[in-house]
Chain A
Amino acid sequence: MTDDDLTAVRVDQFLAHPPVKVWRALTEPELIAQWLMPGDFRLEVGHRYTMQAKAMPGTGFSGAIQAEVLAFECERMLRIGWRDADPDNPNGADWTITWTLKSEGRGTRLFLAHEGFDPDNPLQQRARTLMGGGWRSIVMHRLDEVLRDLEPR
């Protein structure tokens, strides 16, 4: 992750399980509920369902998610739209969450792209003003490494 893209969050994780098994965890509602959030998911383009996450103060995210399956390719890719379902939140989110699965050795590397952040929202504007260009790519990820090392303490 070296881009300076303020409109997306990208994270990846190696999982010591084959794509077919990872795919199950992404698409079977009872499994999704165990690691992400409960919701009436169905693997069908256009299917809509709701989920409730924790609100994130300062980000404009109420936590109420109106989700929609936008696209999928079995065991390879799943794309879901997330909108803020709170009608009292006019600046609510309109995001796409894309999961990509790639075989890696005997396991799977799972990529997440959380896209559609508004670069003009106050959070991003503040970050930009204070940090100037290049902050995210140059410093943020270094900090991130530090933080991960520090977390067990």
Chain B
Amino acid sequence: MPPVETSAEERVFAALASPVRREVLRLLRDAGPQSVNELASHFAMARPSFSEQLRVLREAGLVSEARAGRQRLYRLEGAALYEVQEWLNPFERFWREKLTGLRDLLDSLDGDES
């Protein structure tokens, strides 16, 4: 049998399966882009191990890295998360969209407020 390619979706879910990596995403969400040092300070973990966690997140497209002076800043990437939500619960999104449509419709109905 040919080897199975790791799909983008599998990489995202594998990345999210780790509590450490989910916490990194939460930190980036709450405090915005941060350097590796700032992120690493939240974890009692040797630097090479922490770098490995970041690598997994990067390869999954959940975070990106950019140089800022001598630092490397990590930021959360929304698009991959969006796919996760859609995959995990397409109906939640379905209903949110429908409810937005309902709100717009009600706003457009005139006059008959009682």
Taking Cβ atoms with an 8 Å cutoff, the residues of A that contact B are 9, 11, 13, 15-18, 20-22, 24-25, 31, 34-36, 53, 56, 58-59, 110, 112, 114, 117, 126-127, 130-132, 136, 139-140, 142-144, 146-147, 150, 153
A18 contacts which chain B residues (CB < 8 A)? Answer: 113-114
A21 touches B112 (CB 8 A): yes
Chain B residue with the shortest CB-CB distance to A126: B13
Q: Mark B54-92, 1 if CB is under 8 A from A, else 0.
A: 000000000000000000000010100110110111111
Q: Mark B85-108, 1 if CB is under 8 A from A, else 0.
A: 101111110111011111111110
- Given A130-B16, A132-B17, CB of A9 within 8 Å of CB of B89: yes
CA–CA, A15 to B13, complex, Å?
A: 35
CA–CA, A6 to B108, complex, Å?
A: 35
B91 touches A146 (CB 8 A): no
| 7 nearest CB pairs, A to B | A150-B78, A35-B101, A13-B99, A35-B102, A35-B105, A130-B13, A11-B95
B17 touches A130 (CB 8 A): yes
- Given A140-B85, A150-B82, CB of A11 within 8 Å of CB of B114: no
Q: Report the tally of A-B residue pairs with Cβ distances under 8 A.
A: 99
| Interface check B26, CB cutoff 8 A | yes
B99 contacts which chain A residues (CB < 8 A)? Answer: 11, 13, 110, 112
| Interface check B29, CB cutoff 8 A | yes
A9 touches B106 (CB 8 A): no
List 5 A-B pairs, Cβ < 8 Å.
A21-B106, A25-B102, A110-B102, A130-B14, A147-B85
Chain A residue with the shortest CB-CB distance to B76: A146
B92 touches A21 (CB 8 A): no
- Given A21-B114, A22-B106, CB of A58 within 8 Å of CB of B87: yes
Least Cβ–Cβ distance between A138 and chain B, in angstroms:
8
Least Cβ–Cβ distance between B76 and chain A, in angstroms:
7
Chain B residue with the shortest CB-CB distance to A138: B22
